[in-house]
A and B are shown apart, each in its own frame.
Chain A
Amino acid sequence: MTTAPSTENRVALVGRILLGLVGILVLVVAVVADGPVRGTVNALLTLFGSEYLLVAGIGLVAFVAGVAAVVSSREAATQTRTPDPERVVAVPAPGESFDETAADWRSLLPVAGREHRTAVREQLRRTAVETVAVADDCGRETAAQRVAEGRWTTDDVAATYLAETADLTDVTDEESWFELVLGGQTPTEYRADRTVSAIADVAGVAEGDEEGKGGEEDKESEEAER
């Protein structure tokens, strides 16, 4: 890669050179033309009335410029932010949004949290009905009836949670406040976790079982194909 200065940068470069030349010129004039400079200074002294007022005026201007620079420096500092390539690009895990909805503190609110609670329960109910229909080889209506009557699992919390007559306004005996607080879970999150486990049992899905994915045999066949 190569770069050529832009017009703006060329102007800035010329400006810096001009500023330097002006400084040198002022210095030369101060040394060489002593008479006219002294006359100018005397005129300024007469105008201000005293040496102190003249110097203090210059000092005040410098002070105000300094404060302006302090204020502007907070926003002005611009340095390139480099990317963070060390980690894989961040994306959500499948099911993460469900966990977030179930754990949302708003589900604790009696009226405002109803939407959250209903969304979680309905999603679980749909999945439970589909799972029971497949596992028991029955129609959806039959499966829905079993879920509504709590006859699809031996887990009381899950069965009650998805049952049609469930009263979910309070914490049940089994899920004591103590247990919930200790686990840092909302009642909705606790019930959802238990229900997912119950559905997984019925579906025959082993939770957290990633072993056996891509064994040595696959690796060998992959290397043989190369």
Chain B
Amino acid sequence: MTDPSPTHRWRGVLAVTLVAGGLALVAKRPALLLSAVVGVVFVAYARVTPPPSPAIELDRGLDGASPSHGDRVDVTTTVRNVGDRTLFDLRIVDGVPPALAVVDGTPRHGTVLRPGESATFSYAVAARRGRHRFEPATVVARDLAGSWEAEAQIDDATVIDCTTDVPAAPLRGRTLEAVGRVLADDSGAGTEFHQTREYRRGDALSRVDWNRYASTGDLTTIEFRKEQAARVILVVDARPVAYQAPEGEPHAVSYAVAAAGQLARAIVDNRNHVGLAAFGREPCWLEPGTGRNHALRVQQRLADHAAFSARPPDDAPSVADQAKALRARLENGDQLLVLSPLLDDDVVETVRRVEAEGTPVSVLSPDVTDADGGGRTLARIERDHRHRALRRARVRVVDWDPARPLSVAVTDAMGDRQ
């Protein structure tokens, strides 16, 4: 909370009073001098009122914290004066998530609160796909004369979670020497059929293909594909060029950040390792790890780190430089899952280079183009070309229309591969 500061609201009255009084004395106008006295009263009143020292608590409630895309969510915000002085002029502007629009009511409220009193106001937002954290509410308290004011940002970390569980992330085959659920290219412990080979002494009887033995008399052993863990780095494209969207819609970075959270959960649920990085305003790196606690760390980093801010940056280092720094951190066996709307050629070139250097890359691309004529149509066509260029470079690309659940896009893409 900021210190109370003078607003200088009454300085104009002071000026008029002094000018009127001075003129009255010089021009010998008693009536004018008398009128200046009124101004003196106002100025003195503003000077004697003490600055406000507000003590406020804020509580925010949602009628549904996990709505579907497009649903209306009613938000009820309550502010309470927990101090011992009356707040004569209290103005509250709730911190609506930047990617959501207010569709009913207003997130602003002005009120007078006696000690212990509370005030409640409501409004509604339209849910959009993603995990939307409310920003701190802005509270401004002024004294009775309006000559002092104190400002505060109050956060209660409310989240509208408009995401669904994703069964699996679209990963490539490269694995670690640990058990996970990514199918390795060689055979071993697993559940998916890999091949049959001639029986060798010591093979388990449960692995013998008895049907084949019955029909042909050949003794063969069934081999399954080995399931191993993958080490995946989620890379969110949060450069200025990624902060684009049709009017009134969330931008691509908000979709990418939400998807990264969902995919991180899916990756650790499948006993794989997940790390986090960003192409954005400042470097971000979270060492890969596994387990539910690590998934929570990823979520926390996505919510707190400046690189994933909902507001676009003015500038960012080149993606090639950032990719170079990222490659220096990668270990043998790592693979990247880049979340990018693919709205420029630089990111495509970077992904192709990383893939060519031997690190497998998958791309999940939220589609924020709308083909609404002119440049907008051109943007969609160019994006299609970038997809094609990546696929030609053997990069796996999942095209995600954010109007559809991420799980559907991922399942479709994995179905296409199989």
A56 to B28, CA, bound (A): 9
Binds A, one of B102-110, B111-119, B216-224: B102-110
Specify which chain A residues have a CB less than 8 angstroms from the CB of B202 in the assembled complex.
none
A83 to B310, CA, bound (A): 15
A99 to B99, CA, bound (A): 24
Q: Which residue from A2, A134, A193 sits with its C-beta under 8 Å from B373? A: A193
- Would you call B26 and A78 a contact (CB within 8 A)? no
B355 contacts A by Cβ under 8 Å: no
A98 to B379, CA, bound (A): 9
Q: Which parts of B375-401 form the interface with A (CB within 8 Å)? A: 375-385, 388, 401
Q: Mark A114-147, 1 if CB is under 8 A from B, else 0.
A: 0000000001100100110010000000000000
Q: Which residue from B150, B311, B384, B407 sits with its C-beta under 8 Å from A225? A: B407
Closest Cβ–Cβ distance, residue B400 to chain A (whole Å): 11
Q: A1-B54, A16-B47, A200-B371 are in contact. Are A96 and B376 (CB under 8 A)?
A: yes
Q: A88-B101, A94-B369, A210-B370 are in contact. Are A62 and B1 (CB under 8 A)?
A: no
- Would you call A20 and B405 a contact (CB within 8 A)? no
Q: Which parts of A48-88 form the interface with B (CB within 8 Å)? A: 52, 55-56, 58-67, 69-70, 72-73, 76-80, 82-83, 85-88
A130 to B26, CA, bound (A): 84
Specify which chain B residues have a CB less than 8 angstroms from the CB of A94 in the assembled complex.
244-246, 341, 343, 368-370, 375-376, 379-380, 383
Looking across the interface, which residue of chain B has its beta carbon closest to that of A88?
Answer: B101
- Would you call B374 and A88 a contact (CB within 8 A)? no
Specify which chain B residues have a CB less than 8 angstroms from the CB of A223 in the assembled complex.
68
Q: A73-B15, A85-B135 are in contact. Are A193 and B374 (CB under 8 A)?
A: yes
Q: A69-B18, A207-B377 are in contact. Are A77 and B11 (CB under 8 A)?
A: yes
- Would you call A97 and B375 a contact (CB within 8 A)? yes
A-B contact pairs, 27 of them (CB 8 A): A1-B54, A1-B55, A1-B152, A2-B1, A2-B54, A9-B51, A19-B47, A56-B25, A63-B19, A66-B19, A67-B15, A69-B11, A69-B14, A73-B12, A85-B96, A86-B102, A88-B101, A97-B375, A98-B375, A196-B378, A197-B373, A213-B401, A218-B408, A219-B69, A221-B408, A222-B68, A226-B68
Please provide the 4 A-B residue pairs with the shortest distance between their CB atoms, ordered closest to farther: A59-B25, A63-B22, A214-B403, A66-B18
Enumerate chain B interface residues (CB-CB to A < 8 A): 1, 3-9, 11-12, 14-26, 28, 47-48, 50-51, 53-56, 66, 68-69, 83, 91, 93-96, 98-102, 106-108, 135, 138-140, 149-152, 154, 164-165, 243-251, 310-312, 341, 343, 368-385, 388, 401, 403-405, 407-408
Enumerate chain A interface residues (CB-CB to B < 8 A): 1-6, 8-9, 12-13, 16, 19-20, 52, 55-56, 58-67, 69-70, 72-73, 76-80, 82-83, 85-89, 91-99, 102, 123-124, 127, 130-131, 134, 192-193, 196-197, 199-200, 203, 205-210, 213-214, 218-219, 221-223, 225-226
